[in-house]
Amino acid sequence: MSLRTWAAAAVTVLAGISSLAAGAPVAAAPAPAPAESAPVYSYANAIRESVWVRTTLDGDGDGVPDTVAVDLIRPRTPQGVKVPVIMDASPYYQCCGRGNESETKKYAADGTVTKFPLFYDNYFVPRGYAYAAVDMAGTSRSTGCGDEGGKSDVLGVKAVVDWLGGRATATHQDGSAATAASWASGKTGMIGKSWDATLANGVASTGVSGLTTIVPISGISSWYDYQRSNGVVYYPGWTSGLAAEVSGRPAGVCDAAEAALDAGADDAGGSYNAFWAERDYLRGAANVKASVLLYHGINDTNVETKHFAAWWSALAAHNVPRKIWLSQGGHVDPFDLRRSEWVSTLHHWFDYWLLGIQNGIMAEPMASIERAPGQWVNESTWPAAAAAPLALPLGRGDGQTGTIGSPVAAGSAIRTLTDSPDPAREESATVAAPNTAQPWRQVFLGPRLTKPVRVSGTPTVTLRFQSDHPSTELSARLVDYGPATRLDYLHGEGIKTGTSETCWGSSTPADDACYKVTTEALVTSDLGVLTRGWMDAAHRNSDAATDPLQPGQWYTATVPLRANESVIPAGHVLGLVVTLSDLTYNTPSTTGATVTVDLAQSHLTLPTTAAAGAFTGTGLPPHLPVTPPAPHQKTTGPQQRFTHFR
């Protein structure tokens, strides 16, 4: 009996028993069984084992092939029944933990795994799935060294998919051969948040056989874009620092590998090079054979939204079967934002792609989007089908504040910005009091909106400028000015953790399926920063090469902001705040540059469903009495960013 037939039969039997218990006539036909797998297997009696998969890598340079540790739990199925595997590969199983409650793996004295983090094993093993928690190379019980998203990280996990498909070898702890041929169906689905999601993206980009689906939650699509922004280096030295944070190897074993990471990253130049190309999964999008259920928080300031948008676009270009969830949250798992709906979606997704149950999930809308806190809508695609780029000119305004949507004559409006280390330039102060002129920023305001305006896609800011330095950072923020209750993503990523619990699957004394209830954290504020963007002006033409600025010469640079999905309510004002260096989101590196901007040849391009008439006003900016927002909890210094990266 195939697993699909076994599961369907079990669901039908359970439905029949339920009808009889309720007093239904014996002769009556049972109610139609739901098209989903049922929890018919014992979780407590499941098979728990660990294997070490042999790779072709030697990341630690000891002359011995690296091995990747895999902790497994699988149901005791009838003879001949084979099961698919749900896999979460991670560097965090011992150093840092997984999920909102930072769970780690636990083992018995004999090395048998007794506890898996998260609910995936508790929920899916009784429903006929195996679950594999894989230690990334160089972490926990695996050998080798971490590689910041490079070949060691990706190919180490790929080897596990190959082993499940009979194309690689593995051993048990006692050295005996381990095979999956007797129980594994050959279909694998990868899931995980943050670095775990990044591994799923990377392995999918190899085109490995057997990887049938991936569920990347807040994952990276290009490591250059995680460590850089158009030539701006976020944190010098952090390439090796991140690998060192998750290393599970003895001191000194990975020193050479970590030194090679810093050398390849080229912090001094900040350019995209062969090192970063190896870690750019977008280049392998054409290889992807797996379907993709993608989740990202629109206000994720850690793994920024450019990652999901670029990956989503690349998948679309190659007709990869896919769906997307977008929340208003920060770097947070949808399990902690919309728990019941997310578990149900995962259940049906894996049933369809790994068990072949025809439950209609691919006929459902492609996109599920949180418009405002707690307000979710389904749509046929993302970005919005009706969204189109709208070029909005930047105007002179009243001399203190410029305008959006009101053009000026050529040469009639010149604005100047000066880069300085003034601590008042933290973001909370930078976007406050927009009608007050400051030498280190330029604010542009649109008219008060008479109708809601939807932004759906990637905005850009094009600036025609001169600089008195060979380079300078160009920074921009799109701001929604107007009172509203918003998700407080700048403090705790937008969630609050309670004391009560809900349970998702079966439990044992060592591994329960219960997790603390979380709710969205809300704040009432006068403004909300919608999206941000940064560029090193010397990289204005290419991430891969610099072109230093010459004093007195005019240049044009287009700064991409982070992808966004939001609705600006009627009565609010859209604002654009332009600065040079950014003291909040990047390592302070003020140059002291003075930059002159020609407004007549500068503009904001907004991906929107609105027409240009939505931004037609009097030509003068409205006066906005704005209470400065509270300084946000910084998550973007090296250590803070790592903590929240999990």
Please say if the pLDDT value at position 637 is more than 70.
no
pLDDT at 24 over 50: no
Q: For residue 392, what pLDDT is reported?
A: 96
On the question of pLDDT at 27 being above 50, the answer is no
**Catalytic residue chosen out of the listed positions 71, 153, 307, 331:** 331
Q: In this predicted structure, what is the pLDDT of residue 583?
A: 82
Map out the domains of the chain as residue ranges.
1-34, 47-283+292-379, 388-488+523-629
Confidence of residue 584 (pLDDT cuts 50, 70, 90): confident
DSSP string for 324-355: EEEES-SS--GGGTSHHHHHHHHHHHHIIIII
pTM over 0.85: yes
The number of CA neighbours under 13 Å toward the Cβ of 446 is 30
- The residue that leads in pLDDT, 619 or 425, is 425
Q: Which CATH architecture has domain 388-488+523-629?
A: Sandwich (2.60)
- Residue 57 pLDDT level (bands cut at 50, 70, 90): very high
Q: What pLDDT was estimated at residue 644?
A: 55
Task: Give the pLDDT mean for 444-450.
Answer: 94
Residue 608 near residue 455, CB atoms below 8 Å: yes
Per-residue pLDDT of 274-290, as tens digits, reads 999 999 999 999 999 99
Q: What is the pLDDT, as a whole number, of residue 5?
A: 39
At 590 the pLDDT is: 78
For residue 33 the two structure tokens come to 């069984």
Could you identify the residue written with the tokens 């509203």?
Answer: 484
Residue 19: predicted pLDDT: 33
Higher pLDDT, 423 or 334: 334
Residue 1 confidence (pLDDT) above 60: no
The H-or-E segment that residue 17 falls in is helix 3-21
Q: Is 406 helix (H, G, I), strand (E, B) or coil?
A: coil
- For residue 406, what pLDDT is reported? 83
**Residue 6 main-chain phi, psi, to 5 deg:** -60, -45
Average pLDDT taken over every residue of the chain:
90
Q: Could you give phi then psi for residue 645, rounded to 5 degrees?
A: -65, -30
Residue 22 scores a pLDDT above 50: no
Q: What is the 3-state secondary structure (H, E, C) of 266-298?
A: CCCCCCCCHHHHHCEHHHHHHHCCCEEEEEEEC
- Does CATH place domain 47-283+292-379 in 3.40.50.1820? yes
Active site residue 300: yes
- Both structure tokens of 187: 């279909």
pLDDT tens digit string along 310-335? 999 999 999 999 999 999 999 999 99
Q: How large is the average pLDDT for residues 393-410?
A: 85
- 505-533 pLDDT, tens digit per residue, is 999 999 999 999 999 999 999 999 999 99
Residues 334 and 228: their CA atoms lie apart, in Å, by 26
Q: Phi and psi (nearest 5°) for 530?
A: -80, -45
Residue with tokens 């020609």: 598
Is residue 194 among the annotated active site residues?
Answer: yes
Active-site position among 37, 50, 185, 194: 194
Mean pLDDT of 222-248: 92
The per-residue DSSP string of 364-389 comes to S-SEEEEEETTEEEEESSSS-TT-EE
Gap between the Cα atoms of 181 and 190, Å rounded: 19
Pull the structure tokens for residue 434.
């927009």
